[in-house]
Structure 1
Amino acid sequence: MSKNNLIGGTAARIAGLLACCALALSASAQQPATNPPVTTTAANNVASNTNTTNAVATSDADDRYRIGPGDVLDIRIFNRPNLSRDSVRVEGNGMIRMPLIDTEVQAACKTEGELAKEIAGRYTKFYRNPQVDVFIKEYHSKQVAIIGAVNEQSRFELQRRIRLLELLTYAKGPSTKAGQTINIVHAPPALVCQKPETDETDTGLSSYKLSETLQGQAQANPYIEPGDIITLPEANQVFVVGNVFTPLTIPLKEPITLSRAVAMAGGVKQDSKKDKVRIVRQEPGTTTSKEIVVDLTAIEKKRAEDIALMPNDIIDVPTSAGKTLLRSLISTVVPSVAQLPIRVIP
C-alpha cells in the first residue's frame, strides 16, 4: 500500500467519526430538558417548615404588647433633641402629637417598633432617614382584676398578653374554698386592636371548668383582654355538726355522701344515735327546710343506700340522752365513792 493511500484512508475515517458526533449532538439538542423530580416527602417538609415558621411568627406577634389609651411613652429621635419627647400620654382616642407633624399620629394598637416606623415615615419629608425609638414608660391601658376564691385577690397592669392560667398563678392559685368554675366578665373594649379568639366577649361573660384551666387545656385557657375581671366563685358547702370529733364545713367541690362527710369530720363519738342522724335540707328557692332521718349504722353495713348530699345540707349527729346521763353519773359518783373512808364491820 502506498503512503498516499494510507493517509487518504485515515482522513476518511476521521471525517466519518466527526459526522457521527455532529448527529449525536443534534439529536441531544432536540430533546426537551427535564428537571430532577421533587419527592413528595421533600415538598411536604418544606411546606411544613414554612407553616411552622409562619405560626411561630404569628404567635410572637400576638404576644407583643400593643399601646393603648393612658400609656405614657418616651420618643427619641437620633440627633434631633428638639423633636424628641418625654412622657407622652396616649389620648383616649389612641392618638399622640409630635412636633412638625400637622395631624395626630395613631399610637394605639401599635407596638413600639410599629409606632417608631410610623413616626419616622412622617419625618422623611423634613429629614433624610430619621432614626426613631419608642419606649413605653408607664403601662396603664391593660388593667385586669382577679377576685373570689383565690389566695391573693389583686389588680394587675399587663405589660404583655397572658393567658388565664398564667394570671391565676400570679394570684397564688385557687383557694381551698374554690368551686368548680372560673368566670371572666368582659368589659366593653375601648379600642379593638385584635379580633378576639371567640365570640364569647359579645355575651359579657365566659365560664370555664376550673379543672380544665388548671390542666392548661386550650379551650379553657384564653387570652386575657384589657378590662377583664376574673372571678372564682366559692364552692357550695355542707355542714357537719353534733356529736362528731371535728365539726366542720366541707366545700362541695365534688359529690359527697353522708358517710364520707361524717368520716371527714373525724367520725362519731361515743353515745351517738347513729340510727337517728338528721340531714336538714333547705328546699331550692324557698326558706322552708325539711329533715331527713338516716340510719348511719345501716349504711355502714350496706343495708341502706348512702345519701348524696346537696348544697347547704346540715348533718346533725345526735347524742343518746340515756347513755350520756348514765355515763355522766358513773363519772361523777365513782370518784366520790372512792374518796370515802373504809370502815371494818366486825
Structure 2
Amino acid sequence: MGSLRPEPNRRKRSPSLRRSAGRRSTSKGASGASGALSGALGFTSTLSEVDVIGSTEFDWRGELTPEGFLDGLDELPKPIFALCRSPEDVSKEIEVGYSRILRDPRVSVRIIDRSNRAVAVLDGAVRTPHRFRIQRRVSLVELLVSAGGLTDAAGGEIRIQRPRDLSCRERREATSDGESRPNVTIIKITDLLNGLPEANPIIVSGDIITVLEAYPIYVIGGVMRPGKIDSRSKVTLSRAISMSGGFSRSADKESIAIIRKEGGAGEILEVSLAKIENGEVDDPILKPFDIVDVREKGKPPKRPISDPEQISRRVGTGVSEYALKIID
C-alpha cells in the first residue's frame, strides 16, 4: 500500500472528485485492469475511472473537460490530458504525478461507460436503417450486413459523413498543419463488392452513413409499366421507355413530353421517338427526376406535372425512430 509523504501545501480537492470506498483488493494488477476495456479515452461523454491500487483516497471517477483533461485530479502537479489516449498511457502519467506524494503508486485507468457517446447512423438504400452504439472496432461491411444489406434502389455510392470532434479517429486524421481532412468520404459500391480494402473503412461513433439511392426517372402515359425507374447510369429516352415495358397500344410515338424542373423553373421538351429511330434527332439523355409523358392517341394531353412528388410521395422516417444496435 502506498504511504503518504509530507506535503504541507496540498491543494483543496475539487467538488467534482468522487471517491470510491472499500471495494478493491491490493492483489489487482494495473495492467490487467486497464487492459480489460481497451480503446482510447473518448470525448466528454465518456465516463472513466482512475483507481490508485490499495488506496481509496485518490480514486477518481468522472468525465473529461471540454479541453480533454481529467476533471478533478487536483493532487497532481499538472492537469492530465487524456483525450484520445489509451488507458495504459494515462495510467503511467498519473503514476509519475502521484510519485511526488505516494511511494511507488500503481494506477489503473479504465473506461466504465461509453453509453453517452454519439451513435453511428446507417440509412438510405438499406433494408433496415439502424443506429449503432459502437464499442469495438467495426467495419462498413459489418454494419451493412447488420442492416440487412442493400436494397434494389441502391445507386452506385455510399457517403460517410464524419462530424468533427466526435471520435478519436477523426482527431488522429488531422493533417500536420492542424486542419482536418475532408469529413465526407464517398465509397463506390463496385469497389466494395470487389473487396478493395480502402472501400471498407472502419466506422466510428458519430459517423453518418448513407447508401445513396439511384436517381428516379418517371415514365407515365402510354407505356406498359408506368412508374418510377432507377437511374444508376446515363439513361436515354428510348431506354427509359424500354425499361417501362415498351409502348402500349394506345401510345403516340410522335408525341412524347419530357417534363424537367431545374433551378426552380420547369420546362417541357417535345420529342418524337419516330424521328429518333430514323436518326433525324439525337436520343436525349434523361436527367434525374425527369418525367417522361408518353401521350396516348385519342386522349387530350395531360396537365403538366411539375413535381415528381405528385407521382411518388415518400414519407421519411426520423433518425431517432431507427432501431438501436450495440456493437460490442
Residue matched to 2:293: 316
Look up the equivalent residue of 1:230 and give its one-letter code. I
Query: Matched residues in 1 for 2:54 and 2:183: separation?
Result: 49
Query: Matched residues in 2 for 1:166 and 1:277: separation?
Result: 50
* 5+ residue gaps, structure 1: 1-63, 323-346
Q: How does 1:77-226 map to 2 (within 5 A)?
A: 77-85=52-60, 87-96=61-70, 97-98=72-73, 100-139=75-114, 140-141=116-117, 143-189=119-165, 193-196=171-174, 201-224=180-203
SS at match of 1:122: helix
Indicate the structure (1 or 2) with the bigger Cα radius of gyration. Answer: 1
Query: Matched residues in 2 for 1:120 and 1:90: separation?
Result: 18
Select which of 220, 226, 231 maps to 1:247: 226
Query: Matched residues in 1 for 2:141 and 2:233: separation?
Result: 22
Q: How far does residue 292 in structure 1 lie from its aligned partner after superposition?
A: 1.1
Task: Report 1 or 2 for greater relative contact order, CA contacts < 8 Å, sequence distance ≥ 6.
Answer: 2
SS at match of 1:288: strand
Q: Cα gap change, 1:183/1:197 in structure 2, threshold over 3 Å: closer, same or farther?
A: farther
Residue matched to 2:307: none
Q: Cα gap change, 1:274/1:283 in structure 2, threshold over 3 Å: closer, same or farther?
A: same
Query: Matched residues in 2 for 1:209 and 1:159: separation?
Result: 26
Asked if structure 2 preserves the Cα contact closer than 8 Å seen for 1:280 and 1:315, the reply is yes
Query: Matched residues in 2 for 1:307 and 1:193: separation?
Result: 47
* 5+ residue gaps, structure 2: 1-37, 300-328
SS at match of 2:91: helix
Query: Matched residues in 2 for 1:92 and 1:138: separation?
Result: 18
**Is structure 2 residue 253 aligned with structure 1 residue 275?**
yes
> TM-score by structure 2 length?
0.61
Query: Matched residues in 1 for 2:146 and 2:175: separation?
Result: 23
Q: How far does residue 67 in structure 1 lie from its aligned partner after superposition?
A: 1.0
Residue matched to 1:66: 40
Question: RMSD of aligned C-alpha atoms?
Answer: 3.9
Larger helix fraction of residues: 1
Larger strand fraction of residues: 2
Aligned residues: 255
Select which of 225, 230, 251 maps to 2:209: 230
Asked if structure 2 preserves the Cα contact closer than 8 Å seen for 1:277 and 1:295, the reply is no
Query: Matched residues in 1 for 2:193 and 2:57: separation?
Result: 52
Identity of aligned residues (%): 27
Asked if structure 1 preserves the Cα contact closer than 8 Å seen for 2:159 and 2:211, the reply is yes
Q: Cα gap change, 1:287/1:305 in structure 2, threshold over 3 Å: closer, same or farther?
A: closer
> TM-score by structure 1 length?
0.58
Q: How far does residue 71 in structure 1 lie from its aligned partner after superposition?
A: 0.6
